[in-house]
Structure 1
Amino acid sequence: MAGNSIFSNLRLEDDGSWTAVYGAFTLQSALQPIFSQDAEGYLEVQAFEGLIRPSRGGEPVRPAQFFSEVARQDTAMIDSLCRTLHILNTGALKRSKAKLFVNFHPGLFVTDADIRREVEQIRVASHEAGMSAERIVCEITQKQNDSEDMLAHFVHDLRQRGFRIAIDEYGADESDTARLKLLKPDYVKFEADWVKDFLENSAGSALLRVMVRQFMEQGILAIFEGLEDLRQVEICHSLDVPLLQGYALARPQLAPTSFNDDFPEVDSTERTTLKSGSDLERYNPDVHLPRATAPTYAPVHRKATAFGKRTR
């Protein structure tokens, strides 16, 4: 089903969003913000993660179900198409700084020609979206049978073009440590359940603090994802975790999103000053609930509390 260009299966909707069609499926982008938090507890959007949302006949289809129905010969093309969708829809936000995390499955690209072609497609999509290469973070998902040489080659070519690298589901076992040494990423996404287990005791929390600091000393930013209530955010703040993601802060939204209204791109002099918990609740009355939006800049209470239970 491969087309003549990365835009062969894309269409620009009346609302300004980009969608794609594959057989009976319509593909849409959902974007979820990734936040930084400064020493005073202020939150700021630093990036978005692109998530694919398929539908058929107007009814949502789980991504896993969709990918199971993709013809084998189309898998690499669909993987590339999803990234292109996310890049174009993030570019439509017209933000000047926010990065975009897009997932990669390097095992789909098995020859040098495959790698060069895919890297070039990302470059073209980024150019069309008005996003510089350094704002695209390629999140590498490695499978057990992936060739390490080919993986290293793929990452090298991405870096040569100026793209950033992230590894996901980091859990500090031997394979994760080897992956870290091989890829030398700019970002590390910690595996959410692994983090949850370590935060349930003081020794585990202390270890996470050390790991976050050591990564930062190497120029690597840690991301804690899957945060589902503000107590978890508070603990991350106490551990100096640089980047945060989860339903406690913002749920994914289908493009076109309302994130420019919810989290406008402003400089530090324009921050809303909210000092106390009561001020925060007046600004956002449902602050204690998982929600679709959060205050543009909202300090959370910095006192650590018990780690919250997952609700999904």
Structure 2
Amino acid sequence: MTARKTFDAFVRDADGSFTCAYGPYTLRSAFQPIFQTGLGATTVAGFHGLVRIDRLGDSYSPGEFLNAVDPRDLSEIDGRLASLHALNGQFFAGTEARIHIPRDPRHFYTSHDMRADAERLRRSVDTARINPRNIVCELQMRDFDDLDRTVHFAAHLRRAGMLVAIDGYAGEERDMKRLDEIRPSYVRFDTNWLRGFLMNTAGVALLRVIIRQLAERNIIPIAGGIDQEEEARQLERIQMPRIQGHALAHPDFPANLPARLLPTQAPPIQERSRIPAPSLVASAPAVAHPPVRMANPRRPAPAFGKRGLVG
């Protein structure tokens, strides 16, 4: 067995962005823009933190990466990825853009662990000179997750000055209970659940009611995973407060984003050309990696998922 501290220090690349490593894996932030609709314009309101993973030049999906990770390191990985996204949020410092960071409360078992994680993330936020109110921790929740644990995790993040969101909201009874207990600032709609409303006019009318009810509770809904332009147009027409997906913009590395997106409004969707996917050529300097506990991973296809660590 080897020591559990398997993460190398954060490395700053030539473009100013940060990377980190877990054994032979290099982890990089990518951000996908989140657009705000209303008042006849669509503007960039924030960025969703995603992760790009490679090992010796081969790209790995988050699932493939996590299968190669010792389960005892999962909380460290979740925390380090959050810090990585916060550090790379430096490119948006001084703007009102909010950085949405996926978090998984399942990996944190004690109040001490939760407090230490929140404090470490806050230090990264301060290092990047970001207003902590512009950090939104999106809490991933599954059917049988411990709600009390998630409530405590959210409380520690709030005490550190950050906002929280619920990921995977689908309007079920358990989701309503989560709203009451967690009191999020945002909810990210389950994409398949959302699409069911867009199939007919009655569904669209009901979706308007849901959006209004959330607004009355000061909760901002996010429609993510919007990859079809027709869906994006429908959501713009009903003024869905936040929209994210490949129909609007692909993820990109943080150093490429501010000059391209923040100073100007995005054009209407029918006039918008897709932003090309970024090059995945590794640019981090070589570092020495300590031995780590890992399975022998299969050689993967260079694919990235749309959920979990990558949104």
Please confirm whether the aligned pair reaches a TM-score higher than 0.5, indicating the same fold. Answer: yes
CA distance in 2, matches of 1:132, 1:8: 27
CA distance in 2, matches of 1:292, 1:90: 21
* Matched pairs, number: 276
Aligned to 2:153: 154
Post-superposition CA distance 1:81-122 (Å, at most 9, x none): 111111111213444211111111111110111011101011
Q: Please tell me the residue identity of whatever aligns with 1:109.
A: F
Aligned to 1:292: 276
Which residues in structure 2 correspond to 1:224-243 (within 5 Å)?
Answer: 224-243=223-242
Aligned to 2:172: 173
Report the secondary structure of 2:178's partner residue. Answer: helix
Post-superposition CA distance 1:168-201 (Å, at most 9, x none): 1111112212211211110011111111122101
CA distance in 2, matches of 1:252, 1:199: 25
Q: Please tell me the residue identity of whatever aligns with 2:56.
A: G
- Structure 1 position 209, deviation (Å): 0.7
CA distance in 2, matches of 1:193, 1:52: 23
Aligned to 1:304: none
Instruction: Indicate yes or no: 2:234 matched with 1:250.
Output: no
Aligned to 2:184: 185
Q: Please tell me the residue identity of whatever aligns with 1:46.
A: A
CA distance in 2, matches of 1:30, 1:65: 18
Aligned to 2:259: 261
Report the secondary structure of 1:92's partner residue. Answer: helix
Aligned to 2:30: 30
CA distance in 2, matches of 1:103, 1:157: 16
CA distance in 2, matches of 1:182, 1:10: 35
1:137–1:166 contact (8 Å) kept in structure 2: yes
Report the secondary structure of 2:106's partner residue. Answer: helix
CA distance in 2, matches of 1:17, 1:2: 26
Report the secondary structure of 1:65's partner residue. Answer: helix
Q: Please tell me the residue identity of whatever aligns with 2:260.
A: D
Report the secondary structure of 2:214's partner residue. Answer: helix
- Structure 1 position 143, deviation (Å): 3.2
Report the TM-score, using the length of structure 1 for normalisation: 0.82
2:197–2:207 contact (8 Å) kept in structure 1: yes
2:75–2:107 contact (8 Å) kept in structure 1: yes
CA distance in 2, matches of 1:3, 1:113: 18
- Structure 1 position 167, deviation (Å): 0.5
How many percent identity over aligned positions? 32
Instruction: Indicate yes or no: 2:129 matched with 1:130.
Output: yes
Which residues in structure 2 correspond to 1:7-26 (within 5 Å)?
Answer: 8-26=8-26
Which consecutive aligned stretches of 4+ in structure 1 deviate over 6 angstroms post-superposition? none
CA RMSD of aligned residues (A): 2.3
CA distance in 1, matches of 2:217, 2:177: 16
Q: Please tell me the residue identity of whatever aligns with 2:20.
A: A
2:36–2:44 contact (8 Å) kept in structure 1: yes
CA distance in 2, matches of 1:95, 1:8: 29
In the alignment, structure 1 segments of 5+ residues that lack a partner are: 294-311
Report the secondary structure of 1:88's partner residue. Answer: helix
In the alignment, structure 2 segments of 5+ residues that lack a partner are: 278-305, 307-311
Aligned to 1:305: none
CA distance in 1, matches of 2:167, 2:233: 22
Aligned to 1:54: 53
The structure whose RCO (Cα within 8 Å, separation 6+) is larger is: 2
Aligned to 2:298: none
1:12–1:19 contact (8 Å) kept in structure 2: yes
- Structure 1 position 290, deviation (Å): 4.4
Report the secondary structure of 2:221's partner residue. Answer: strand
Report the secondary structure of 2:117's partner residue. Answer: helix
Q: Please tell me the residue identity of whatever aligns with 1:32.
A: Q
CA distance in 2, matches of 1:67, 1:193: 25
Q: Please tell me the residue identity of whatever aligns with 2:153.
A: F
Report the secondary structure of 1:140's partner residue. Answer: strand
Aligned to 2:106: 107
CA distance in 2, matches of 1:198, 1:212: 12
- Structure 1 position 233, deviation (Å): 2.1
